[in-house]
Amino acid sequence: MAGFSDWLRGWFGKYRIDDPRPTAAGAPYTYYLPSENELLAVAPGDLVKIIFESIPPSDEWGAERMWVIVTAADGDELTGTLDNNPADMPQLEYGDIVQFRRGYIIDIDWAKDRLVPPPSGPERRWYWERCFVDDQILDGRLKVEYLYREEPDPPRDGDKFPDSGWRFRCDTRNLTDEEYNSPSFSYIAVGKVLNKDDSWLHLIDEPVGSAFLRDWSTGKFVPTEMRSSE
């Protein structure tokens, strides 16, 4: 006789595995996926992480990232067993069989005693150092107009990434009077700024004391004096 957990699994019974590539394309400086070489090399015995979304939606989580042990590979199609206990997905249990595509993998833990393939393309750079940035840049409404780099702030409690010293101000031409007089800003990863506006990326290694102002007639950033009011 089926138990209550079996009844729940049968009543819900559905989930979908999320394709992470559209999200990665929209956040190229903070959402890194395995390279093509790595994805093609995944084989039985490897541990891979994929994103599960509940149908109907979970009450607690929009999605759960969980590990799966690969047991079979047929071209682009992979089969594995779930290696996590879902937090709020009664339709899934540890050890369940899961089928998915290579492109849905977001992380890989290679099997022991196995030759790990080199990633394809240039070595990735991480952009997790923190910065201060106007919220109008983060929400995608305005572009960076002025950026400068000062001495980084001391580490903050609970933040494992240091301050970069970079500060970003938005295009003031399109601010309301209230926004101009009462700036709204965030302390966040530099990569989050790059996701919205990477036109200044070539300046990221400029030293402390640097400042640049965008020339809107050309779109280029011109060296300038750091504003004393900043």
pLDDT tens for each residue of 108-146: 999 998 888 877 777 789 999 999 999 999 999 999 999
**pLDDT band, very low/low/confident/very high, at 13 (cuts 50, 70, 90):** low
Same-domain status, 163 and 214: yes
User: Domain total for the chain?
Assistant: 2
Query: What pLDDT does residue 228 have?
Result: 58
Locate all alpha helices (DSSP H) within 42-157, ordered by sequence.
135-138
Query: What pLDDT does residue 6 have?
Result: 41
Cα 208 from Cα 206, distance rounded (Å): 7
Cα 198 from Cα 184, distance rounded (Å): 21
Same-domain status, 140 and 216: yes
Whether the predicted pLDDT of 59 surpasses 60:
yes
Mean pLDDT value across the chain: 90
Question: 112 burial class (0-12, 13-18, 19+ CB within 10 angstroms)?
Answer: exposed
In residues, how long is the chain?
Answer: 230
The whole domain housing 37 covers 4-109
Cα 155 from Cα 152, distance rounded (Å): 9
User: Does any domain span residue 74?
Assistant: yes
Same-domain status, 143 and 213: yes
User: Does any domain span residue 121?
Assistant: no
Kindly state the average pLDDT of the residues 194-214. 97
